[in-house]
Amino acid sequence: MAGLGRTVLARHRMARMWGLGDRTNPESKSPGLVLSEEESMDIIWAPFTTTSDGGIPRKIILDSRAPFAPWESKENGPSLSASIGHVLPPSLDEADAGEVASKGDLLPISWQSLNHDEGLLDENLNPHVVVLTDALQLANRPGRLVEAIFIIKKKFPGALLWAPGIGGPDNCAVMTWFGIDLFDTTRSKQAEAHGAVLTWSGPRMLSADEPEVNHWELALTETRSAISNHSLRELAQSQSLSSPRLVEHMRHFDNLISSKDGVLSQIVDPSAALRIHSVESHDDPIILDWVDFMTNHYTPPEGLDDILVLLPCSARKPYSLSRSHRSFHRAMNHNSTHEVMVTSPLGLVPRDLEQTWPAGYYDIPVTGDWTQDEITRVTQMLDSLVERNKYRLIINHSGMKYNCETPLIDTREGSSATNPEALERLGQAIYDNVRVKRRSSEKMNLDNFKSVARLHHLNDLWLQGTEVRGRIPRWKILKDGEQLAMWAPERGGFSLAKSSIPVLESLNSLKRVNLKENIKWKGDINLAILESYDETIRKGEDILVMQGSQCLGSARAAAPAWEWGGTPGRLAKSHQRL
C-alpha cells in the first residue's frame, strides 16, 4: 500500500499497535503522539508533527518525522495535508455545514460529515490517517464519541485515527481501547499552564520539588505493552475509574460492541487471561456473548438431558484439573450426567466446554459471596437451560440456592463443597437416581468435541462417524482410519488436518472467505487477493479459503472481521492447502 507504511504488530479488539515505516524494522509505533513544531520527543513515541495555515476553512498538515515510506524515499515522509471544511457542533447534526472537508490520504471527519457527506461513501476512498475533528465536542455528548470512533474504524480499518484535543496520559489506555491511534499534547500543555500535570491516574497539582517525569512516555509504554499481552481491557478499566466521564464512555462502548459481530476473538493466545477484577468487568462483551450463547444457543451432548448436576467452579482452569473437582468425580463415580459449573461472571460453564475461551481462561477474586446481579444472571441462565432440556432431576452441589418445578436435591445442605458428608450425599444422589450406563472415555471425548464444534464451527456434522484415539491431552479424531483433526489444549480448540477440509466444506461447517479470480494463492490472506469475506469472522477461528466454487484450503483468522475491509498486512494465516 503506497504512502504511509504501516503494519499491525499487535491487536486487542478495536485497539491496535501499528508499526510505522519498514515492516521488519519500524521507526515508530502507535499509539503515539502528534507534536507541534516547537515540541520535541523521541520518534518512537511521537511519529508525526502538525501545522496549520490558520485559514478559513483551516488546512492542516501532518508531517512524518522519519522515512515511513522507505521504498519511496530515504527522507522523512510522507507529508499529508487536508482542508477540514466547515465543522458544525455535533448538536447541529441535522444541519448542512456547506463546504465539506477534502478527501485524500489525510481525511478530516466530523459528526456532521458522518451524517451528511456522501463523499465518505466512495469505495475508492482509502485514507492513511483519519482526523476526528470534533472529538472534544463529541466527548461531552453521551455515547457519541465511541459511536463516531466505531463508525470510522469500520469504514476505514486501514487508517490511523487521530482525535485532537482529548488525549492525555490520564486516558491514553481508555481512548486506545476505543480505537484511537494518535494523540496530541493539547491537554497536557493546558494543565501545565495552570501548574498541574496529567498523570496515568489523573490530573494533579505539581509540587515544587517534583522531579521531571515524561508521563506521556510512561502512558504509551503501558498501553503498548497491554495491547501486546491482551490486557488492555483491564488497564483501560482501571484508568477509567479516575473520571466519571471515562466510566460513562466505557459503558457506552461495551454496549456498542456487544451488539456487533466480527469484533471478538474465538481462539486466544495461551498466555491470555480474562481478568474480572471489578464489577464493571462483569459486562465485558466477551462475557455477555458467552451468556447469550449459553442462554439461547447451547445444546448439551446427546443423552445427557436426564440429570443435571450443578457444581461450583474452581480457581484452577480447566476445572477438571482442580483438587475439588477430582473429589467430585470420585464421589459421583459416574460420567453420564450433565455437569454444569455455576460461576461468576460467566454464569454457567458446561463440563463439555470448560477448555474453551473464555471459560478456561478467566480469573476472578473468590469471596464466596454473590451479588444480586450475579444471582439474577445465573438464575436466568439456569431457567433457560432447564426449560430447553426438560431434565428429570437436578442435583445441586453448587452452594447457590435455586428453585424450579423440576425435582431438585440439595447435596450441600449448607456445608462446603468438599465436606466429606456433602460429598457422600452427592455420591448417594447419583447412585440412587442415575439410570444410564457410564460413558466410555472415547464417547465422553467425542461428546465434548461435538459441543466445541457447535460453539466454534457452524455445526458438528463433520464429527459424525468419527472415533477418538491417542493420548491425553492431544486426542486424535479419525474417520475411516484417516486423521481429521487433533485436539489442541493450548488453543482450546481443534488443529485441523488437510483431510478434514473437503469434509468441512461439503457440510458447510466453517465460515468462508473468497479470493479474487485468476490469482494463485501462495501466502497468507491479505487485501490484495481478497474478494469477499464473512462479516462475523472472529480472531483465531479457522475459515475455508474459496475461489469461486473451489475450496483451496483453510486459514486461521489473524484479525476479526471489522478489520478485513481495508487493513494492510496479514488478515489470516495460511493453514492447510489442498
Same domain, 94 and 137: yes
Task: Reduce the DSSP state of residue 121 to 3 states and report it.
Answer: helix
Q: Are residues 323 and 468 in the same domain?
A: no
Flag whether 267 is in a domain.
no
Which pLDDT score, from 0 to 100, does residue 95 have? 59
Q: Could you tell me whether strands 347-350 and 338-343 are parallel, antiparallel, or unpaired per DSSP bridges? A: antiparallel
Q: What angle in degrees, to the nearest 10, is found between the helix axes of 285-296 and 244-258? A: 40
Residue range of the domain that includes 302: 298-432
Average pLDDT over residues 304-308: 95
Examine the pLDDT at 129 and tell me if it is beyond 60.
Answer: yes
Residue 289 has pLDDT above 70, yes or no: yes
The domain tally of the chain equals 3
**Is pLDDT at 55 greater than 80 in this prediction?**
no
432, 454, 475 — which closes off a domain? 432
427 and 479 housed in the same domain: no
pLDDT at position 91 over 70:
no
Given a cut of 60, is residue 226 above it in pLDDT? yes
Question: Residue 191: pLDDT band by 50, 70, 90 thresholds?
Answer: very high
Tens-place pLDDT, residues 99-120:
678 899 999 999 988 888 888 9
pLDDT band of residue 92 (cuts 50, 70, 90) is low
| pLDDT at 18 exceeding the cut of 60 | yes
Quick one: pLDDT at residue 126?
93
Please give the Cα distance from 520 to 517 (Å, whole number): 9
Question: For residue 482, is pLDDT > 90?
Answer: yes
Q: C-alpha cell of 276?
A: 474480572
Across 564-573, average pLDDT: 96
The pLDDT assigned to 109 comes to 95
Residue 1 lies in a domain: no
- CATH number where 449 lies: 3.10.400.20
Query: Among 432, 465, 486, which residue terminates a domain?
Result: 432
For residues 409 and 450, membership in a common domain is answered with no
End-to-end CA distance of the chain: 29
What does the pLDDT average to over 13-30?
A: 95
Residues 364 and 242 in one domain: no
Q: What is the pLDDT of residues 438-469, one digit of tens each?
A: 999 999 999 999 999 999 999 999 999 999 99
pLDDT value of residue 270 = 87
Is 50 exceeded by the pLDDT of residue 72?
yes
Residues 120 and 153 in one domain: yes
- Can you give the pLDDT at residue 351? 98
Enumerate helices (H) and strands (E) in the chain, giving the number of each. Answer: 14, 29
- Asked if residue 460 and residue 312 are part of one domain, the reply reads no
The predicted pLDDT at position 93 comes to 64
- Please answer whether residues 14 and 562 qualify as being in contact, where contact means their C-beta atoms are separated by less than 8 angstroms: yes
pLDDT at 116: 84
272 located within any domain: no
Length of the chain: 578
The CATH number that applies at residue 345 is 3.40.50.10630
Query: Which stretches within 36-125 are classed as H helix?
Result: 111-116
Boundary-marking domain end, from 432, 451, 481 = 432
CB 285 within 8 A of CB 250: no
Mean predicted lDDT score pLDDT of the chain: 93
Predicted confidence at residue 1, as pLDDT, reads: 40
Flag whether 565 is in a domain. yes
Residue 337, in any domain of the structure:
yes
Identify the pLDDT of residue 365.
81
Three-state secondary structure call for residue 555: strand
Cα distances (angstroms) measured from residue 395 to each of 65, 325, 341, 368: 66, 15, 12, 20
Are 30 and 176 in a shared domain? yes
321 confidence band (pLDDT: 50, 70, 90): very high
In a domain, 143, yes or no: yes
Percent of all residues in the chain with a pLDDT value above 90, rounded to a whole number: 84
Position 56 scores a pLDDT of 64
Per-residue confidence (pLDDT) for residue 434, from 0 to 100: 96
- The answer to whether residues 557 and 452 belong to one domain is yes
The residue whose grid cell reads 466547515 is: 86
CA distance 261 to 314: 31
Predicted local confidence at residue 85, as pLDDT: 78
Amino acid type, 77: G
pLDDT over threshold 50, residue 218: yes
Per-residue pLDDT of 349-393, as tens digits, reads: 999 999 999 999 998 887 677 889 999 999 999 999 999 998 999
Is there a single domain that holds both residue 221 and residue 363? no
Kindly state whether residue 313 falls inside one of the protein's structural domains.
Answer: yes
The answer to whether position 145 is within a domain reads yes
pLDDT of residue 2 exceeding 60, the answer is no
Quickly state the pLDDT bin for 233 (edges 50, 70, 90). Answer: very high
Do 15 and 116 fall within a single domain? yes
Residues 428 and 446 in one domain: no
